[in-house]
């Protein structure tokens, strides 16, 4: 049986992620990171995608996207992934040798509330959490670097919720453990991130009811 078609509505914020096949380090040199940022910039212009935040790590990346129209998320992500795969193989002389990514991208919808801010903190603090830098803004391959004055081709959208003026301090502080755990669960299951009522409504709208159910076979009544 084929995988179910995703329902991706416009005007909903999504977190999107993809990992390299076999956790391969596909981003090693600055040129590798810059090449992906160039693809992001091109994709934003090509599809009119609102890119609120991003972070590129050595073997995966996080994007916070706010599509304008139904289906835009899928079209944008397909183009970004396919284009990067083709250019990565061309740059490394590995065309025809296998997959760059482990599969299609993972995503989950996010409520426009304080949870959006929690997600943005989670994404932009990723290098700090991984111990790769002492301060989050020192990682050059993220939207936080742009917010701190870095010059990039990538154009950021201000998003549905304005970031606080002390945003850098917030990103530098520890992510709330309960929210970090919840976001990690949403990444794994693809379930909506928000209030209970919003989660249930959004799961119904987007056909994500299965992501809210416990995995495994239901227990039989004795």
pLDDT for 86 equals: 94
CA distance 32 to 81: 14
pLDDT for 2 equals: 43
The residue extents of the domains of the chain are 13-200
pLDDT for 214 equals: 84
Candidates 3.30.70.3450, 2.60.40.1230, 3.30.70.1290, 2.70.98.10; CATH matching 13-200: 3.30.70.1290
Question: DSSP string spanning the chain?
Answer: -PPPPP---TT-EEEEEEEBGGG-----SHHHHHHHHHHHHHHHHHHT--EEEEEE-SSEEEEEE--SSTTHHHHHHHHHHHHHHHHHHHHHT-TTS--SBSSSPEEEEE-SSHHHHHHHHHHHTHHHHTTS-SSGGG-SSBHHHHHTT---SPPPP--SSPPPTTHHHHHHSPPPHHHHHHHHHHHHH---BS-HHHHHHHHHHHT-GGGGSPSSPPPPP-
Once rounded to an integer, what is the mean pLDDT over residues 19-23?
A: 91
Q: Does residue 44 surpass a pLDDT of 80?
A: yes
Work out the widest C-alpha separation in the chain, in whole angstroms: 64
Residue range 89-107, pLDDT digits in tens: 999 888 766 789 998 899 9
pLDDT for 89 equals: 93
Q: Does residue 177 surpass a pLDDT of 50?
A: yes
pTM: 0.92
What's the whole-number average pLDDT of the chain?
A: 92
Once rounded to an integer, what is the mean pLDDT over residues 42-55?
A: 98
């Amino acid at each position: 049986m084929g995988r179910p078609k995703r329902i991706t509505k416009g005007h909903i914020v999504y977190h999107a992620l993809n990992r390299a096949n076999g956790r391969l380090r596909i981003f090693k040199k600055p040129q590798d990171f810059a090449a992906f940022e160039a693809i992001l910039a091109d994709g934003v212009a090509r599809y009119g995608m609102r890119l609120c935040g991003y972070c590129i790590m050595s073997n995966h990346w996080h994007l916070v996207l706010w599509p304008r129209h139904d289906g835009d998320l899928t079209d944008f992500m397909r183009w970004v992934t396919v284009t990067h795969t083709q250019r990565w193989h061309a740059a490394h002389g590995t065309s025809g040798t296998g997959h760059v990514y482990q599969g299609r991208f993972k995503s989950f919808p996010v409520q426009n509330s304080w949870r959006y801010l929690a997600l943005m903190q989670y994404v932009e603090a990723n290098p700090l959490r991984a111990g790769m830098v002492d301060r989050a803004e020192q990682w050059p391959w993220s939207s936080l670097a742009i917010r701190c004055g870095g010059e990039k081709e990538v154009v950021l959208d201000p998003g549905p919720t304005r970031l606080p003026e002390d945003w850098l301090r917030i990103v530098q502080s520890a992510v709330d453990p309960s929210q970090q755990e919840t976001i990690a669960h949403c990444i794994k299951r693809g379930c909506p991130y928000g209030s209970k009522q919003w989660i249930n409504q959004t799961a119904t709208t987007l056909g994500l009811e299965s992501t809210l159910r416990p995995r495994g076979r239901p227990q039989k009544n004795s």
